[in-house]
Structure 1
Amino acid sequence: MMKENEKIVLDIHDKPSPATWLTLSFQHLFAMFGATILVPFLVKMDPAVALISSGVGTLIFLLITKFQVPAYLGSSFAFIAPLMAAQTGGGPGAAMVGSMFAGAVYALVALIIKGTGHRWILRLMPPVVVGPVIIVIGLSLAGTAVGMATNNPAGEYSLLHFSAALITLAVTIICSIYFKGFFNLIPVLIGIFTGYLYALAIGIVDFSKVAQARWLQAPNFTIPFVDYQPQFSWQILLLMAPVALVTLSEHIGHQMVLSNVVGRDLVQKPGLHRSIMGDGLATFAAALIGGPPNTTYGENIGVLAITRVYSVFVLGGAAVLAITFGFIGKISALISSIPTPVMGGVSILLFGIIASSGLRMLIDSQIDLGDKRNLIISSVILVIGIGGAVIKIGQNFELHGMALAAIIGVILNMVLPGNEPDAESKVENETEKKSAVS
């Protein structure tokens, strides 16, 4: 828990003065901004919708947790590959239905945890399973990041465009290593801003949509029964649901870290079932308007730790600002004008960090890969996930890539000798370590 000599600046239910409130809320907005708009950029969704859905999702989360958990929810990186696959197979509507499935999985797990406790999910998804799956999440997107960084709009290699990616990547790395304090929390935002200026200097930025956009403008929402007819699909369910199990493990890790930061056991009160339900309803709400699935953001937990400002009013203010920005057409168009190579440069680092965080989980959890059981589970997950293995039955049933790898990993963990009940406490302790996946 928090050290006694660390003075709380604003506690969870403290309300700051209006000027301070606005400043602190903007700080959280900046911390989540770069990662939140990157996800819709990659999966061809409207970044403005992602901003709105993150704000709405955060307000839902705060409400469900009885305003006792200071957390911000943004776009989840874990769902990028499944969303792309869903869009390829069935268009934007299929991706949104898949996100609804993910939200429903969260809600179902929350109800089960309320009745049975949370240890069972830690045994179902221990570090030896979650770590390799997280590695798969990062590495399966490596080709996408490199393609974005090196290609021009026509899909052809361009050294000019690649230079924008390299500048963006270099600045982001420099900020991460050498900057201190608040600026150390927003290296992605600084990298994108610098890369954008460089792209502007070399003439690869198109301002036409910015000029055409109105100041107040409704984003491109994707509404069920208006823009598409929702249809149940086993393929989409099996594509998205296993990823939800992985992000649930991440969610538990975030709540334990957040408990240490604020000096309260948030897993017990208001309860893990409430935070998971809030996350699930936020994801479901995002799907209803065409936004990507949401997840609690480690970046904003970092802001809480540094500033020692834990006020839920500040997090709620950041959510309101995000919703407001989503309806300002000029800002939305400006975000959309960011050249693909700039986002590609950031993606090279972020996707690599995701993969490395999976490796870090294995190391921090002291997973012995000299043990044949651990070696087999991690090896099978990595090859099936990165190799893109597929199970097809008939025309409508398909299970592939990360989803298949996660399911096989869970099965191997449950059936191979060595999954003793007395390992529960060790698994729970290791889950307290901070997850770097957003």
Structure 2
Amino acid sequence: MTEKVLDIHEKPRPARWVILSLQHMFAMFGSTILVPQLVGLSPAIALLTSGLATIVFVLVTGFKVPAYLGSSFAFIAPIIAATNSGGVGSAMIGSMFVALVYGLVSLLIWTTGPNWIMKLLPPVVVGPVIMVIGLAVAPVAVNMASTVQVGNESVYNLLHFSAAMVTLASAIICLMFFRGVISLMPVIVGIVVGYIYSAFIGILDFAPVKEASWFEIPSFLIPGVDYDFVVTPTLLLIMVPVAIVTISEHIGHQLVLGSVVEKDFIKEPGLNRSLLGDGLGTLVSGLLGGPPKTTYGENIGVMAITKVYSVYVIVGAAVFAILFSFIGKMMAVIQTIPTAVLGGISILLFGIIASSGLRMLVEHKVDFGEQRNLVIASVILVVGIGGAAIKFSDTFEVGGMALAAIVGVSLNLLLPGRTDKTLIEEKE
């Protein structure tokens, strides 16, 4: 058993609470505001809605699942396509229908139980899929750490890469060689040290901070006020099918998180409730003008590192995200954090997620002397990490982790020697 610093329902002391919550906010910050920057939405509204969606999720799951909801990368291309076809309001409407799909799947699981899903996901499938969740985004972390944008091209820059390595080294040193409260905040320590180093080598731009106001209201997009609520078949075709990808991602994250905190979230509070919470979080986001939401692997990585699993720390991070979204100067300061610094931290966090998948294979004693297990794991890893995709149109494709999961499930069903034990039964 892993020694826990704080369990799910334990509250930290106020000062430590603030530090631990800020750490989670910084862990998700880079990815959460990157999505709206890529699709033309407001970073502040993305931060605000991530906090609101997380609180909704925690309430729906009865304060039993310490997960943070941030902007989903799976919807970048669909949002751009929906916006091009019918304006930014179309993307928001599409998000609401994605939330409806979540609700319907949640209802199906509630009425039939999760066993039929879990029998499709034994450890030999889930372990490699979890590894894919971390490793498939490894190039993103490395690219953030080592390149700068010059026009439309990413160009390697040794100076920026040095900032990433200083950030990473600081986080590792904090984690390995310090004790007490310092050892619980490697992400914050890494970012602060990386930020100071970045200022020293001259790669910070403080101009946005000088121009920003202290108080700024995020750019809301309200249906019926900022756009007409018009539903078209094209819009539904662009947005709704992506729910297949994000639901698969949700299940994978719940299994990763359960492995990290040593809880069975599929049974309690139930996959139906966590999916419903995720869907309602996306609905709230869409109603206010934010991108669709998903549970974040970065925050799972923080929990795996610190052994702090408190749901109250997650709620604190959500509250900080909401407050910071209205502070123009604060948003500007946060946005001055160099991409290289965020990349250095991401190298550690994404690696922790991949290692959690490996841990699952070890804990469940998956025998790779058996050809069946070797084939399933091998194909999942190459398909997922290699970025294989099946394209149904210019706007919809199934690839990456989702396709890896589908291929893994199919191989598990088709190859001889399958057992009917679920992941949970094998763990017991």
TM-score by length of structure 1 reads: 0.78
Aligned position for 1:368: 367
1:22-101 matches, within 5 Å, as 23=15, 25-43=17-35, 45=37, 47-65=43-61, 67-69=62-64, 71-75=66-70, 79-80=72-73, 82-86=74-78
Shift of 1:357: 2.3
Contact 1:286-1:294 within 8 A present in 2 as well? no
Q: SS in structure 2 opposite 1:152?
A: strand
Match in the other structure for 1:322: 321
Q: For 1:52-104, what per-residue CA distance to the aligned partner results, in whole angstroms no more than 9, with x for missing partners?
A: 22321232124324x4536352437xx54x34554676669698677656644
Q: For 1:204, what is the secondary structure of its paired residue?
A: coil
CA contact (8 A) 1:25 1:318 kept: no
Letter paired with 2:170: V
Structure 2 Cα separation of the partners of residues 384 and 8 of structure 1: 37
Whole-Å separation in 2 of the counterparts to 1:391 and 1:24: 46
**Total equivalences in the alignment:** 410
Letter paired with 2:68: L
The aligned counterpart of 1:384 is 383
Measure the CA separation in 1 of the matches of 2:7 and 2:133. 37
Q: RMSD of the TM alignment (CA)? A: 3.9
Quickly say closer, same or farther: Cα 1:221–1:150, change in 2 above 3 A.
Answer: farther
Task: Note the alpha carbon deviations across 1:276-298, whole angstroms, 9 max, x for none.
Answer: 32233123323443245232754
**Given the alignment, which residue of 117, 131, 138 partners 1:135?**
131
- TM-score of the pair, normalised by structure 2: 0.79
Moved more, 224-233 or 396-405: 224-233
Q: Deviations over 1:96-152 (max 9, x none)?
A: 677656644543332223222222222122222222222223222222222222223
The answer (yes or no) to whether the contact 1:31–1:185 under 8 Å persists in 2 is no
- Residue 251 (structure 1) aligned to one of 251, 254, 267: 254
Superposed, 1:38-437 pairs within 5 Å as: 38-43=30-35, 45=37, 47-65=43-61, 67-69=62-64, 71-75=66-70, 79-80=72-73, 82-86=74-78, 103-154=99-150, 155-221=154-220, 226=226, 232=235, 234=237, 236-251=239-254, 254=257, 271-288=270-287, 289-291=289-291, 293-295=293-295, 297-298=299-300, 316=315, 318-393=317-392, 398-421=397-420, 423-424=421-422, 427-429=423-425
How many angstroms apart in 1 are the aligned matches of 2:123 and 2:22? 31
Structure 2 residues not aligned, in runs of 5+: none
Q: Secondary structure at the match of 1:327?
A: coil
- Please tell me the residue identity of whatever aligns with 2:32: P
Letter in 2 for 1:144: V
Deviations 1:259-306 (A, max 9, x none): 86xxxx976665553343223312332344324523275468679975
Distance in 2 separating the partners of 1:315 and 1:389: 34
- Flag the 1:84–1:372 CA change in 2: closer, same or farther, 3 A: farther
Give a deviation string over 1:228-279, Cα, whole Å, max 9, x none: 977535465454523422322432564687686xxxx976665553343223
- 8 Å Cα contact 2:32-2:47 kept in structure 1: no
Deviates most, 265-274 or 31-40: 265-274
Rounded Cα–Cα distance in structure 1 between residues aligned with 2:135 and 2:106: 30
Structure 1 pair 401/279, CA: closer, same or farther in 2 (3 Å)? closer
> What are structure 1's unaligned runs of at least 5 residues?
433-438
Does the Cα contact within 8 Å between 1:130 and 1:246 map onto a contact in 2?
Answer: no
DSSP 3-state at the match of 2:218:
coil
Q: Which amino acid aligns with 2:146?
A: T
Q: In the TM superposition, what is the alpha-carbon distance from 1:398 to its structure 2 partner? A: 3.1
Q: Which amino acid aligns with 1:392?
A: K
Q: Indicate the larger mover: 366-375 or 394-403.
A: 394-403
SS at match of 2:337: coil
Separation (CA, whole Å) in 1 of partners of 2:375 and 2:304: 35
The answer to whether the 8 A contact 1:239-1:403 is kept is no
